[in-house]
Chains A and B, each alone.
Chain A
Amino acid sequence: EAGVTQFPSHSVIEKGQTVTLRCDPISGHDNLYWYRRVMGKEIKFLLHFVKESKQDESGMPNNRFLAERTGGTYSTLKVQPAELEDSGVYFCASSQVWREGPDNEQFFGPGTRLTVL
């Protein structure tokens, strides 16, 4: 079974440009999460989809970030316009069910390393 995949693995853009990150969750996983790790800091939650609906977007830093999950399958995270402080590693995770216990384990993708110059 394929794990969570993310594209691209690396992206280098200039300040002011737009970048779109993509995440393909594990097939059948309704829950999809975006997290971010900026240099020297801990991984931080950005938002959570249940199917195509945003369940929790409390971690989104500002309105330059837009996440979508049309059709409830893959998700995109667009940063427009990108700023220097957006540099970091963006992780996507997915989980199968909405309940307590190890079954609710979140499976992580390898991340997209974004560098804004």
Chain B
Amino acid sequence: GQNIDQPTEMTATEGAIVQINCTYQTSGFNGLFWYQQHAGEAPTFLSYNVLDGLEEKGRFSSFLSRSKGYSYLLLKELQMKDSASYLCAVKTAGNKLTFGGGTRVLVKP
């Protein structure tokens, strides 16, 4: 079966750093994606990891350890607009994405 776990909710303060963890057990692995989704809107692509290590893109970074089935998304210098749900998704067979339940991040002033 496919299992992707991430925390349901996290709260952080504006300007701080938040790390969202994602663990996965999937039959097949062709890469791990992080998406951001604001309420009522489309999920938008943030990052992609297929090899172990850290990918940095501005204020957002994502890390992958394939041997541990583990990834995290790091959000630095948090802004109010970063309040959203963050979705961890593994590309399994073919091009299919298998999603975790999403982590709702609330940024407080």
State which of B9-17, B30-38, B75-83 sits at the interface with chain A: B30-38
Whether A108 and B94, one on each chain, are in contact in the complex, defined by CB atoms closer than 8 angstroms, is no
Contact of A43 with B95 in the complex, beta carbons under 8 Å? no
Q: Which B residues touch A100, using CB under 8 A?
A: 30-31, 50
With contacts A42-B4, A101-B50 taken as known, whether A95 is within 8 angstroms of B45 at the C-beta atoms is no
Bound-complex Cα distance A88 to B44 (A):
19
B103 to A: closest C-beta gap in Å? 11
B74-98 toward A: CB 8 Å interface, digit per residue (1/0)?
0000000000000101010111111
Residue pair B42, A110 in contact (C-beta under 8 Å): yes
Interface centre among A42, A55, A98 (most CB of B within 10 A): A42
A-B contact count (CB 8 A): 68
Say whether B94 contacts A55, CB under 8 Å. yes
Which residues of chain B come closer than 8 Å to A55, judged between CB atoms?
Answer: 94-95
Output the residue of B40, B44, B94, B95 with the most chain A CB within 10 A. Answer: B95
Contacts known (A41-B101, A100-B30); A108 close to B96, Cβ less than 8 A: no
Interface string of A13-53 (1 = CB under 8 A from B): 00000000000000000010101000001111100100000
**C-beta contact mask, A50-90 vs B, less than 8 Å → 1, else 0?**
00000110110000000000000000000000000000000
Q: Which residue of B lies closest to A103 (CB)?
A: B48
A115 at the B interface (CB under 8 A):
no
Interface residues of A (CB under 8 A from B): 3-4, 31, 33, 35, 41-45, 48, 55-56, 58-59, 91, 93, 95, 98, 100-102, 104-111
Residues on B close to A: CB < 8 A?
4, 30-31, 33, 35, 40-45, 48, 50, 87, 89, 91, 93-102
Closest 10 CB pairs of A and B: A43-B99, A108-B42, A42-B101, A110-B42, A108-B43, A102-B48, A42-B99, A45-B96, A105-B45, A56-B94
